[in-house]
């Protein structure tokens, strides 16, 4: 058995327009796909998800928010505000509680202890992606 959490995409246009996240149970032996849970709450399309630990994950959206979810029951534990435009990516830090995010507002934001701790402006139109390297450095991709 394999459990997959993913964002929904429109297969015809490739445009992300779904405002929910689906948790799928995929049984590979019999090619059975079952929807286990829908995580509802974003007001615009979901752009990405990041697993914090075995019980929680984060999602980011064009609605300018990041949401903290319980994997088990779909409860939204917290909503993070700080971006002023689309949030394109969210990445969990190795400690399992802190994270980074980036988006259309040209910012990389660092979230520690459940609060925004740092905002780093980029000389670009938008920051499309971010990741954390094994040595702890943060890398961004911007245009």
CATH code for position 8: 2.130.10.10
Statement: residue 8 has pLDDT above 50: no
Confidence of residue 73 (pLDDT cuts 50, 70, 90): confident
For residues 127 and 87, is the Cβ–Cβ distance under 8 A? no
Per-residue 3-state assignment (H helix, E strand, C coil) for 65-102: EEEEEECCCCCEEEEEECCCCCEEEEEECCCCCCEEEE
Q: Tens digits of per-residue pLDDT, 17-63? A: 567 777 765 555 666 666 678 888 999 988 989 989 888 999 999 99
Domain count, the chain: 1
Q: Which residue has better confidence, 8 or 32?
A: 32
- Angle of CA points 57, 60, 65, to nearest 5°: 115
**Side-chain half-sphere exposure of 28, counting CA atoms within 13 A:** 4
Q: pLDDT at position 139, please?
A: 97
Q: Tens digits of per-residue pLDDT, 78-89? A: 999 999 999 999
For the whole prediction, is pTM greater than 0.85?
A: no
Q: pLDDT at position 1, please?
A: 47
Retrieve residue 82's tokens.
């700080």
Containing structural domain, residue 45: 2-142
**Would you tell me how many other CB atoms lie within 10 Å of the CB of residue 58?**
22
């Amino acid at each position: 058995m394999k459990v997959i959490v993913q964002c929904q995409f429109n297969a015809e246009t490739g445009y992300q327009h779904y405002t929910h996240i689906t948790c799928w149970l995929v049984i590979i032996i019999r090619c059975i796909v079952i929807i286990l849970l829908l995580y509802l709450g974003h007001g615009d399309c979901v752009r990405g998800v990041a697993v914090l630990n075995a019980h929680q994950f984060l999602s980011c959206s064009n609605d300018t928010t990041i949401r903290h979810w319980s994997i088990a029951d779909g409860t939204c534990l917290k909503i993070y505000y700080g971006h002023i435009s689309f949030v394109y990516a969210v990445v969990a830090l190795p400690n399992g509680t802190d994270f980074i995010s980036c988006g259309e507002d040209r910012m990389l934001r660092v979230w520690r202890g459940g609060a925004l701790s740092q905002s780093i402006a980029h000389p670009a139109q938008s920051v499309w992606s971010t990741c954390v390297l094994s040595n702890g450095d943060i890398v961004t991709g911007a245009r």
